Amino acid sequence: MTADLAGHARELAGWLRDNAERLAPWRRRPPGSLAAAVEHDRGLLALLHEAGWSRYGWPEQAGGLGGPVALRAVLYDELAAADVEVPEAYVILETLGPLLTAFAPDLAATHLPRFLRGEELWGQGFSEPEAGSDLAGLRTRAEAAGNGFVVNGQKIWTTLGQFASHAAVLARTGAPDSAHRGLTMLWVDLGQPGASVRPIPASSGRDEFAEMFFEDARVDGSRVIGEVGGGWAAAMYLLQYERGMYAWLRQAILHRRLREVAAMAPAGASPSSLAALGRAQRVCAGLRARSRTTVLRLSAGENPGPEISVDKVLLGQAEQAVFDAWRQLCWEAMAVDDGDLSSTLREEWFYSRASTIFGGAADIQRDILSDRVLRLPRGAR
């Protein structure tokens, strides 16, 4: 990062060292359910907000302390470097926080401080059972009613959705065949009549995702994110952070996991297992270098555009490489060890299997890069 960011990083690293004992409860996720982990994280969110560190990089009018958005990247990097678990809620924050500050500043002023304090969580309502990567084909409808809308439809694969109080829901307000031109982004209260959320059990044993159902759920006109009919533009703005800043957050965590995996490597590990560890290190280094460039561009107010697909492809590769290396090095621990670290790594191994699918499938990202960045003729792919 730049010299100013490096100074901020040194100051934050010093605070983390000085408060090591206070931060001890968050060096490992607590055993048990995802709900217990989410509630546990709320305490760390409140602590980081109280100390001010999580407020840097967010606009002052939304409860932040200002400064470039790269200051948020410094927070994630230093937390992981200090062996503090980065709260899973920050994944959602980096997806929807920039959207609200840019397209709905009044909503951001109300809800962002609550999120930073750990008082509420949010959900992202994009994918549907028959419209995952093809958002232009989504079917959830928002019909105009009085000074707002009535929403009907279903969303799926909402990360931590069962804990969310509100969701940014992409709905069709135009004609059925209006494709991306007829979409509107709405801020929906999930606690109201007509809105329900159901967790989706995962093979890891953690309900990482949820599905949302809307039956005549009402949304006031003041809760439109951006403009009516402007949902596609809002979604494309969101994706640069979902794929850019999220990739930086995850690479910080993956580098911590690499340190932990390397420390667990048994004496006499096979050459193939050590090669897998080396490959994981190489892929993570590439992801860090690439996402550093992206974060600095975001911090400068630039939109990386379709090039952001590079970050998404590299992230999926890094996620799987790290946890596959652990599986090869420590297969017995993966299979039977119930210790906190092995349990965490096992859960994340399962989660990494989907990393090349969620948030934009890897094959779709490669098509985007071929078409819009490299401009390759279809026969050359």
User: Closest by alpha carbon to 353, among 316, 314, 327?
Assistant: 316
pLDDT bin (cut points 50, 70, 90) of residue 378 is: confident
Of 30, 62, 87, the last residue of a domain is: 87
81-95, 223-237, 366-380: lowest mean pLDDT where?
Answer: 366-380
Which stretches does DSSP call E strand in the chain?
Answer: 122-125, 141-145, 148-159, 166-172, 183-189, 195-200, 209-220, 224-225
Q: What is the CATH number of the domain that holds 268?
A: 1.20.140.10
Q: Which residues are catalytic?
A: 242
253 with 211, same domain? no
Per-residue pLDDT tens digits for 239-273: 888 888 999 999 999 999 999 999 988 888 899 99
267 with 292, same domain? yes
pLDDT at residue 336 greater than cutoff 50: yes
Helix (H) or strand (E) holding 114: helix 105-116
Distance CA 187, CA 151 (A): 11
Q: Is 63 left (phi over 0), alpha (psi -120 to 50) or beta?
A: left
319 with 254, same domain? yes
335 with 375, same domain? yes
Of 87, 114, 134, the last residue of a domain is: 87
Long-range contact set of residues 176-184: C-beta below 8 Å, sequence gap at least 24: 179/136, 179/137, 180/135, 180/136, 180/232, 181/229, 181/232, 182/229, 183/135, 183/136, 183/138, 183/229, 183/231, 183/232, 183/235, 184/142, 184/149, 184/224, 184/226, 184/227, 184/228, 184/229, 184/230, 184/231
Contacts of 330 (CB under 8 A, 6+ apart): 261, 264, 265, 266, 342
Task: Give residue 172's domain range.
Answer: 123-229
Contact 74, 12 (CB under 8 A): yes
- The residue type of 40 is H
149 lies in some domain: yes
200 with 267, same domain? no
362 with 271, same domain? yes
Mean pLDDT (whole number) for 218-224: 97
Torsion over CA: 115, 120, 126, 130 (sign): positive
pLDDT bin (cut points 50, 70, 90) of residue 360 is: confident
**For position 379, what pLDDT does the model report?**
65
pLDDT at residue 144 greater than cutoff 70: yes
**For position 10, what pLDDT does the model report?**
96
Distance CA 335, CA 5 (A): 42
257 with 222, same domain? no
332 with 356, same domain? yes
252 with 305, same domain? yes
Contact 138, 131 (CB under 8 A): yes
Per-chain mean pLDDT for the chain: 92
Per-residue pLDDT tens digits for 108-125: 999 999 999 999 999 999
Per-residue pLDDT tens digits for 286-297: 999 999 999 999
pLDDT at residue 56 greater than cutoff 50: yes
**For position 128, what pLDDT does the model report?**
92
288 with 364, same domain? yes
pLDDT at residue 226 greater than cutoff 50: yes
24 with 49, same domain? yes
252 with 376, same domain? yes
**For position 342, what pLDDT does the model report?**
85
Per-residue pLDDT tens digits for 173-194: 999 889 889 999 999 999 999 9
Q: 344: number of CA atoms within 13 Å, CB side? A: 17
**For position 3, what pLDDT does the model report?**
56
**For position 347, what pLDDT does the model report?**
84
Q: How many domains does the chain have?
A: 3
pLDDT at residue 1 greater than cutoff 50: no
Higher pLDDT, 70 or 372: 70
DSSP of 338-381: -SHHHHHHHHHHHHHTTTTTTTS-HHHHHHHIIIIIS---GGG-
Mean pLDDT (whole number) for 337-361: 84
